Amino acid sequence: MKRLRLWLMIMAAPATVLLGLHELGGTPISKDYDTGFEWRSDDQNARLVLSANPGGSISCWIRLKIPATSSLIRADTTSGAQLKVTSESQDQGYQWIAITKDTSMPEDMFDWPSGAKLNIEFQGQASDLRIEDWEIHMSNKADDSHRSAQLRHSIFIVSLFLFLLSLTGVTLEAVEKNRTKRTPFSPQYCLQLMIDGIEGANDKESESIRTILGKVLLEGANVEEALAPLGLRPLQGKVLWLKAAGRFRAKLRFLIEQLIEFEERSR
């Protein structure tokens, strides 16, 4: 029973990583850039209204998969930019259209200001307005897509499930503590145990690595804030962070493999 409680609480470590970090050592946990893309149908005005929340203005062009239509399609932004709509291909009752800057160049990117909506109007059509698939291609950031958004959602659900398991373990441990007066575990304590077990090339490096990981994973600091007290040159700091993140990722991978083996043995 004690081992089961411990494994349940250790689930908090991967859950914290999935929820709190976008990447470890330069390796993205979830690829592509989260634009916060959303859409809704405005049947009264025969249009689709698109919005995004990428944390600022972006330069991009968009591909959308919509039900096939013979309607004239127009697009503009609420900031006043007229856009070009190009039909690209048909796909079993659907069609792909490209939304670009209104120039003669294909895939020419337009400016999508922060907070602005993108309206796609269908002349004479007021029903069956929906988007089946979408892609956003950006100039200076990774692209985003419907598939990537689904993956991010799945990672979020998995992380919540892991946290639920870990909280179950914490609850069981708290009950046991009331009986035996032992110190209870917590998700943060599980992460601290993992961090304390990471070794560097020497005692000084080990202490620095643990300090950085503690500030990033437990205190919510960014990498620059975590490195600042160490007084390292930029290149030294980057090398140390890559080493710290790489060793934590290796330890996390080993833990997940052990959890999988434990689950298989328990069947």
**pLDDT tens readout for residues 172-190:** 666 666 665 554 556 677 7
For residue 165, pLDDT beyond 70: no
Chain segment 188-245, per-residue pLDDT in tens: 777 787 888 888 888 888 899 888 888 888 887 888 888 888 888 888 888 888 888 8
Q: Which domains does the chain have, with CATH numbers?
A: 2-31+150-265 (no CATH), 38-141 (2.60.40)
Q: Which residues pair with 87 in a beta bridge?
A: 97
Q: What is the pLDDT of residue 170?
A: 63
Chain segment 134-157, per-residue pLDDT in tens: 999 999 888 999 998 888 777 777
Tokens of 46: 């025969």
Q: What is the pLDDT of residue 174?
A: 64
Percent of the chain residues topping a pLDDT of 70? 73
Higher pLDDT, 26 or 135: 135
For residue 18, pLDDT beyond 70: no
- Taken in order 8, 9, 10, 11, the sign of the CA dihedral is positive
CA distances from 206 to 145, 212, 230 (A): 40, 10, 13
Q: Check if the beta carbon of residue 100 is closer than 8 Å to that of residue 83.
A: yes
For residue 23, pLDDT beyond 80: no
CA distance 98 to 87: 6
Question: Pick from 6, 17, 28, 21: which is nearest to 259 by CA?
Answer: 6
Q: Check if the beta carbon of residue 96 is closer than 8 Å to that of residue 68.
A: no
For residue 249, pLDDT beyond 90: no
Chain segment 60-106, per-residue pLDDT in tens: 999 999 999 888 999 999 999 999 999 988 878 899 999 999 999 98
Q: What is the pLDDT of residue 224?
A: 85
Phi, psi of 53 (to 5 degrees): -140, 70
Quick one: 60 exposed, middle or buried, by C-beta within 10 A (0-12, 13-18, 19+)? Answer: buried
Q: What is the pLDDT of residue 186?
A: 67
